[in-house]
Structures are given as C-alpha cells and as structure tokens.
Amino acid sequence: MRSDAPALMPIFRSRHQAELLTRLLLNPGREFTLTELAGELSAPLTSIQREAQRLIDVQLIRDRKQGRNRLVSANPANPATAPLTQLVMMSFGPVEVIGEEFALDGAEQVIIFGSWAARYVDQPGPPPHDIDVLVVGGVSELPLYAAADRAQRRIGIEVNPVRCTPAQWADPGEWALLLEIKQRPYTVVYRREASAA
C-alpha cells in the first residue's frame, strides 16, 4: 500500500517515510524493530520495511540483526541527520513533543487542532506558523503554560494552549471554540490510560 506525500511537508516521498524518520530521528539513542515501528505508526509492515531499506541504502538510518529481529536507529554520522532532524521536528515532531510535554497531572486528553492539524490530515494550505493545543482535564494554568514553553523551545514553533474540563468537551454548549474544534480536523496526541481495576 503506497501512501502519498504528506501535505504537512510534501518533500517526503510518503507519509510512512516521514513518520518513520520522525520516530527514529527524534529518538536518536533508541533502536526499534520494524514490527514495533509498523505498530506504533499504524502502517503496514511491508511499507515500513521498504521505507527503512531506502533510508538504510543512503545511510540516513542504520540497521543490525539481533536474533531474528532487525533493529533500526538514526545514523548520527550522516551529515544530513542534524538538518533533517530539525525539519521533521517542525513538521511531524509536534505529535510526539506535544504529547510528551502536555501529559500533565490531571490531563485526560491532549488535542492538536487548527491549521497544523489540518495539514497533518493532508488538507492543503500554507504552512502552519503555530500549533494550537487543547488540554481536556483538570490542569491548572501554570503547568499548562510551562508545557507550552517547553514544547515551543523543542519544536521551534509557537504553541498556543487552551484548556477545558471533560464535561465541557463532551458538551460544549455555546463555547464556540470547542464547537469549531469538533467540526474541523484535530489529532489526539495523548490520552490518559484508565487505571487498572
């Protein structure tokens, strides 16, 4: 199954390639199995295998065998790694970074909305100049804005957070922003796991 070039950064040959590079370059010290990557990226294993082989062939990533597993990781020795890491951070990195930074005490879910979310789901348009984030849950203002500052430093794009309660998200009433978010593309980047009972 071939995926088309992503609207968020169409210089990548496919969304699978962009997401694979993002996962590897933003986790430089970590090795992944191809099966693990296919699962995490919700992509067919054969697509991940093909994309990985292309990247191995040009030495952007490296691989090694461990038993029957093939492990892949970023190749820091390639001179293109640093600028490519910056590029994927700005384009596909927000899913990972926003999810990490806004996974705060009291957060039920974290949602990216607005122009960045629209490009992420391949709606054409100009490049996003900021990232709009909705935190659903009981998060206080200080940690919310501290998370936005950390994410902004990591990504290099302005991050604008807003918060609401789970009840408000379930029933926005007359809250125009929540009504608009629900009608347009958005991406859930964090969801609190239910505690085991």
Q: Which CATH number goes with the domain that contains 49?
A: 1.10.10.10
Q: Does residue 19 form part of some domain?
A: yes
Is pLDDT above 90 for 166?
A: yes
Q: Which band of pLDDT confidence, cut at 50, 70 and 90, is reported for residue 197?
A: very low
Output the six-digit token pair for 154: 């990591």
Closest CA to 70 of 31, 22, 15: 31
Give the integer Cα–Cα distance in Å for 33 and 35. Answer: 5
Examine the domain organization and report whether 143 and 64 are in the same domain: no
Structural domain of 59: 15-90
Q: Give how many domains the chain has, as a whole number.
A: 2
- Tens digits of residue pLDDT in 41-84: 999 999 999 999 999 999 999 999 999 999 999 999 999 999 99
Is pLDDT above 80 for 2?
A: no
